[in-house]
Amino acid sequence: MKKHNFGAGPCILPASVTERAAQAVLDWNGMGLSILEISHRSPEFEAVILKTQLLIRELLHVPDSYSVLFLQGGASTQFNMVPMNFLKPGLRADYLDTGYFSQKAIREASLFGKVRVVASSADKDYSYIPDYIDEKHDAAYLHCTSNNTIEGTEMFHLPETKVPVICDMSSDIFSRIINVRDFDLIYAGAQKNMGPAGLTLVIVKNALLERIDKAIPAMSDYRVYKDHNSLYNTPPVFSIYTAMLNLLWLKDQGGIPAIEHQNKKKAAMLYQEIDRNALFYGLATPAHRSRMNVTFKMHDEGLEPAFLSFASSRGIVGIKGYRTVGGFRASLYNALPISSVALLVEVMQEFEAEIGVGKIQAEYNMAI
Ligand code: PMP
């Protein structure tokens, strides 16, 4: 049975992309070589890097004053690279604490200098995005997380500040229109809307790099990636190639405006059912509900294993909530078809019918 993959990452990729990638593993462009076997310094691969960078620039309208870099080590490595490059004793970095991954970023940054958590939603289990208006404008940078993959919240309005804004966009990059100029550095692990795991994207304003005035180990120094066009050492060749295929797919879909339209539709369908269905409730505050990761639970937690196996019997996979949150998380990344969301909604309705709305209402005294 074809599975409907709601996994949070690595996650669903378009079938046409995995097919082309599979073909390239066998024989890339009729070269008689696998994509896994070619030199990263070959002109063919240099063309792939260039094409991938150009697609990113085109899709996100990246200005010329920014560099597009390919790194490894996941977004988690960016948690330490950002402060390693931009923070030092005597300077302070401001962080927004909006969930599990921002906490990790905060912990790493505090190894390099002073860190101030300027706003947090920890008081309500990270179910919302706190507002923040900077009054001091004296930090080395402000770090935020645009989409909280585990908690299911998304930042639709940026904090107001005059200091450089650095954003972890791992789980919503390429899903909606952004203005790159609002940020000084964007980073993202590729394994959601960009491509397979193994690649990390960094988009950085060149002026920010010019401010760095210290020696940094080469593999952690953004300037080295810029100066060597991300070919200082061996980059993740296959991940970059597959990301290129995926970005070509995105362009064919009509680019980010078209995919954002689809993503809004998919998220609205699922949240509508969560709000309507007497068995379920959403975890995030409505204004901050993520379009990528929809988190929800059942009023009767005891029913959750039954719903999970009911859904899995219909081919739905990847909806178990993160272990610290529980419940469910349905990730609706770009490549997930709307028909998969329609099926999940149908399955929720069938489960509700099977359990019996009357019984549930009586038990919890709820109105629907
Ligand atoms: N930040 C966010 C928002 C994430 O969702 C993740 C993981 N998916 C990470 C950071 C960590 O990324 P990685 O596993 O690539 O290190």
pLDDT at position 367: 46
How many degrees, rounded to 5, is the angle at CA 156 between CA 153 and CA 160?
115
pLDDT at position 356: 77
Map out the domains of the chain as residue ranges: 15-252, 255-367
- The answer, yes or no, to whether residue 228 has pLDDT greater than 70, is yes
The span from the CA of 52 to the CA of 189, in Å, is 15
Q: Rounded mean pLDDT of 126-133? A: 97
Asked whether the beta carbons of 187 and 170 are under 8 A apart, the reply is: yes
Nearest to 168 by CA among 97, 236, 226, 222: 97
Please give the share of the chain, as a percent, with pLDDT higher than 90.
Answer: 95
Segment 25-43, tens digit of pLDDT? 999 999 999 999 999 999 9
DSSP H or E stretch at residue 208? helix 206-210
The span from the CA of 83 to the CA of 67, in Å, is 18
Whether 318 is in the pocket of ligand 1, judged by its Cβ within 6 Å, is: no
Segment 177-196, tens digit of pLDDT? 999 999 999 999 999 999 99
- Of 11, 71, 76, 175, the residue with max ligand 1 atoms within 8 A of its CB, to mutate for a pocket test, comes to 76
pTM of the entire predicted model = 0.96
User: 122: which residues sit within 8 A by CB, 6+ positions away?
Assistant: 97
pLDDT at position 86: 97
pLDDT at position 1: 75
- The answer, yes or no, to whether residue 364 has pLDDT greater than 70, is no
Query: Following DSSP, what letter does each residue of 181-204 receive, concatenated?
Result: GG-SEEEEESTTTT-STT-EEEEE
How many degrees, rounded to 5, is the angle at CA 124 between CA 149 and CA 345?
50
pLDDT at position 357: 57
Integer-rounded Cα radius of gyration of the chain: 22
User: 310: which residues sit within 8 A by CB, 6+ positions away?
Assistant: 347, 350, 351, 354
Determine the distance separating the centroid of ligand 1 and the alpha carbon of 60, expressed in angstroms.
20
Asked whether the beta carbons of 212 and 86 are under 8 A apart, the reply is: yes
Determine the distance separating the centroid of ligand 1 and the alpha carbon of 354, expressed in angstroms.
37
Q: How confident is the model at residue 136 (pLDDT cuts 50, 70, 90)?
A: very high
pLDDT at position 368: 44
Residue nearest to atom 2 of ligand 1 (CA): 170
Q: Which atom of ligand 1 is nearest to the CA of 74?
A: 15
Segment 299-351, tens digit of pLDDT? 999 999 999 999 999 999 999 999 999 999 999 999 999 999 999 999 999 99
Query: Looking at the domain that runs over 15-252, which CATH code has it been given?
Result: 3.40.640.10
Segment 276-307, tens digit of pLDDT? 999 999 999 999 999 999 999 999 999 999 99
How long, in residues, is the chain? 368
Determine the distance separating the centroid of ligand 1 and the alpha carbon of 191, expressed in angstroms.
9
Q: Rounded mean pLDDT of 1-5? A: 89
The span from the CA of 306 to the CA of 302, in Å, is 8
Q: Burial of 344 by CB count in 10 Å (0-12 exposed, 13-18 middle, 19+ buried)?
A: buried
Segment 137-170, tens digit of pLDDT? 999 999 999 999 999 999 999 999 999 999 999 9
Q: Rounded mean pLDDT of 57-77? A: 98
pLDDT at position 213: 92
pLDDT at position 246: 98
Determine the distance separating the centroid of ligand 1 and the alpha carbon of 74, expressed in angstroms.
7
pLDDT at position 365: 53
Query: Looking at the domain that runs over 255-367, which CATH code has it been given?
Result: 3.90.1150.10
